[in-house]
Amino acid sequence: MAVMRPLAFHGAGNRGPFFEGWYFKNVSRDGSCCWSIIPGVYIGRDAKDSHSFIQVMNGASGESWYVDFPYDDFLANAEKFNVQIGNNEFSQDRLRIDIEREDFTAIGELAFTGTKPWPVMLLSPGIMGWFAWVPGMECYHGVVSLDHSVQGKLTIN
């Protein structure tokens, strides 16, 4: 049952409109550095409107970048959290980002240990709470981990 797997991709076969994204918020131990990375996909009613994306936000400065990719660059697993967008990979244990655009560059890899996912319960199977049970939802959101250790390096711009 897909609802009880909030991190897995829920949009396979969806005709749109549909949105799904996964939120990675990474904060340094001293709190001076905060980067959020959201891989996601939008499926439009019209196939030409469909695309995948990676949004990167600097929590210290408030800067944000939305990098779109063709829909065909999106691959996801319906059973467990494993998303690829172009050369970028996202899972419960790591993220690898490789974006080189004219106006934005983000390269690096972060490994996560001791992840604590949102508790999956019958009446609240994820961050969406009981709304996850509503048929025909146009979006799903998953929280990969509420707390974990991070090792690695990101180079942004």
What confidence tier does 63 reach under pLDDT thresholds 50, 70, 90? very high
What tens digit of pLDDT does each residue of 19-30 get? 888 888 888 889
Question: Structural domain tally of the chain?
Answer: 1
What is the domain range of residue 56? 2-156
The answer to whether 23 and 12 have CB atoms below 8 angstroms apart is no
Q: How many whole angstroms separate alpha carbon 137 and alpha carbon 19? A: 9
Q: Is the pLDDT of residue 41 over 90?
A: yes
Mean pLDDT of the chain: 87
Enter the pTM of the model: 0.85
Of the pLDDT bands very low, low, confident and very high (cuts 50, 70, 90), residue 151 is very high
Between 91 and 128, whose confidence is greater? 91
SS3 21: strand
What is the C-alpha to C-alpha distance for residues 143 and 119, in angstroms, rounded to an integer? 10
Q: What tens digit of pLDDT does each residue of 75-126 get?
A: 998 778 899 999 999 999 999 999 999 999 999 999 999 988 878 788 777 7
Contact between 42 and 18 under an 8 Å Cβ cutoff? The reply is: yes
Instruction: Please tell me the predicted confidence (pLDDT) of residue 106.
Output: 97
* pLDDT (mean) for 40-51: 92
Output the domain CATH number for residue 40: 2.40.370
